[in-house]
Structure 1
Amino acid sequence: MTALRLLLASALACALHAPACHAACVEVDSDTEAVAGKGFKLGCISCKMRLEVPATATVDWYFKARDESDFTQIYSYVYQNEMVTDDRFWARLHWNGSKRTSDLQDGSIYILNVTFNDTGVYRCYFDRTLNFGNYEYRANATKFITLNVVAKATRGTASILSEVMMYVSIIGLQVWLVVEMVYCYRKISVAGEEALRESAAEYLAIASESKDNCAGVQVAE
């Protein structure tokens, strides 16, 4: 119950002070298996260490095929302007990252109509400038994604494990709710019994006092 109250209090505080609350950023790894003929999202997230510091960033993507030894730039994104720089990906790459901001943290892109030739290693490069008012600080981050293109989707171990963990979490939550309900019921029941005993004792005391008073009156008469 205490943890639940803290969670609700935090949510309420964030709602009441919305300007002071920042959306959380989590660096989730990209999927690494695409199906030929379908679309695929190449995920790339680079979180700022200081969310309150304004910044601007650009994102560049590079690709190295299985039979190549060097990376080739295939895509570039600068606030609301994207450019495909490799003919192999012409009209097939689109921005799928942060929207309506130059302070980019999600630099993901989307590949349309994936082919087997898209198998290889992708490099995502963030070039970020943080503005501290009196000076600027330059920082960068690089992510590597090894993509494998298959004819038919296969279910990986990670997917199975995630589903199992989801069901375990749901069952655990239900058990916790049942325990909480039983605990609250017992607590209310005990409180009710104590109140009933107190009422009975008070009634007996009043009855006894009334009886004593009646006996005194009879003696006096």
Structure 2
Amino acid sequence: MMSAGRHLLPLALLLALQATLCRGACVEVDSDTEAVANEGFKLGCISCKMRGEVPATASVNWYFMASDETEFSHLYSYEDVTGNIIDPRFDERLFWNGSKNTKDLQDGSIFILNVTYNDTGTYRCTFSRVLMYTNYEFETNTNKTIKMNVVPRITRGMASILSEVMMYVSIIGLQLWLVVEMIYCYRKISAAGEEALRESASRKSSRRLP
């Protein structure tokens, strides 16, 4: 089993590299929801851009509602490659863990250090994306809600098992998609090469005519 996994990994990396040359890949995976007290925890938030060939900019805002509260408060904002902690309860404990060195954000995840029981509650991630077409701009907004629970130690519940199963399903689906992308790119490049050869042959024939 281990040997098969070692052979599949290089193949998956090769397919990912080839597909990335044609078009970047993005997979939306749900965030974990169970954090351990006094440890770090990643709040995942991924919003894939459906039109990969269209340039875009995006900003991400996080909101937090503690388990004993009834309204969300602004927690964190990230825009123009700059993050800003707004809720003082998370000062020096919260860091950007999403897309790096780009304004075209697709991963808006954050990381919380030294999680406390007071961090239990509902988190909301909001993506504001502007797609820049030739003659106009189109704005989209995406919201993702995460209910986080803080426990003394990690427990493997049904939600965790389902999440792991979905992760493997997503990986298999991504690999199949990468194969399709690789075939598409190969056919596109092959067609372009054949067209160039035909044009070259046509030019040579025309030169030979008196």
Scaled by the length of structure 2, the TM-score of the pair is 0.68
In structure 1, runs of 5+ residues without a counterpart are: 1-7, 167-221
1:107 is matched with 108
2:79 is matched with 78
2:27 is matched with 26
Aligned equivalents of 1:25, 1:77: Cα separation in 2: 20
User: What is the CA deviation profile of residues 191-213 of structure 1, one whole-angstrom value per residue up to 9, with x for unaligned ones?
Assistant: xxxxxxxxxxxxxxxxxxxxxxx
Alignment of 1:131-150 (within 5 A): 131-150=132-151
Aligned equivalents of 1:160, 1:126: Cα separation in 2: 28
Residue 145 (structure 1) shift: 0.2
2:196 is matched with none
Residue 27 (structure 1) shift: 1.0
Q: 1:18 to 1:121 in 2, by over 3 A?
A: closer
Residue 158 (structure 1) shift: 4.3
SS in 2 for 1:88: helix
Aligned equivalents of 1:95, 1:140: Cα separation in 2: 20
> Percent of aligned pairs with the same residue?
62
Size of the aligned set, in residue pairs, is: 154
1:37 is matched with 38
1:59 is matched with 60
Aligned equivalents of 1:105, 1:18: Cα separation in 2: 15
Aligned equivalents of 1:126, 1:82: Cα separation in 2: 14
Aligned equivalents of 1:103, 1:57: Cα separation in 2: 6
- Which amino acid letter does the alignment assign opposite residue 42 of structure 1? L
- Which amino acid letter does the alignment assign opposite residue 134 of structure 2? G
Aligned equivalents of 2:114, 2:80: Cα separation in 1: 25
- Which amino acid letter does the alignment assign opposite residue 74 of structure 1? L
Higher mean alpha-carbon deviation, 63-72 vs 153-162, is at 153-162
Aligned equivalents of 2:16, 2:122: Cα separation in 1: 44
Q: 1:120 to 1:12 in 2, by over 3 A?
A: closer
2:203 is matched with none
Aligned equivalents of 2:148, 2:20: Cα separation in 1: 39
- Which amino acid letter does the alignment assign opposite residue 154 of structure 1? T
Q: 1:151 to 1:13 in 2, by over 3 A?
A: closer
Aligned equivalents of 1:83, 1:63: Cα separation in 2: 15
SS in 2 for 1:38: coil
SS in 1 for 2:144: strand
1:211 is matched with none
SS in 1 for 2:49: coil
Aligned equivalents of 1:130, 1:97: Cα separation in 2: 19
Q: 1:30 to 1:18 in 2, by over 3 A?
A: closer
Residue 12 (structure 1) shift: 7.2
Residue 26 (structure 1) shift: 1.1
Aligned equivalents of 2:20, 2:113: Cα separation in 1: 37
Residue 13 (structure 1) shift: 11
Q: 1:160 to 1:24 in 2, by over 3 A?
A: same
1:5 is matched with none
Q: CA RMSD in A?
A: 2.2
State the structure with bigger RCO (CA 8 A, min sep 6), 1 or 2: 2
Residue 79 (structure 1) shift: 2.7
- Structure (1 or 2) with the larger CA radius of gyration: 1
- 2:126 counterpart of 1:153: no
Residue 159 (structure 1) shift: 4.0
2:126 is matched with 125
Residue 49 (structure 1) shift: 1.4
Residue 134 (structure 1) shift: 1.0
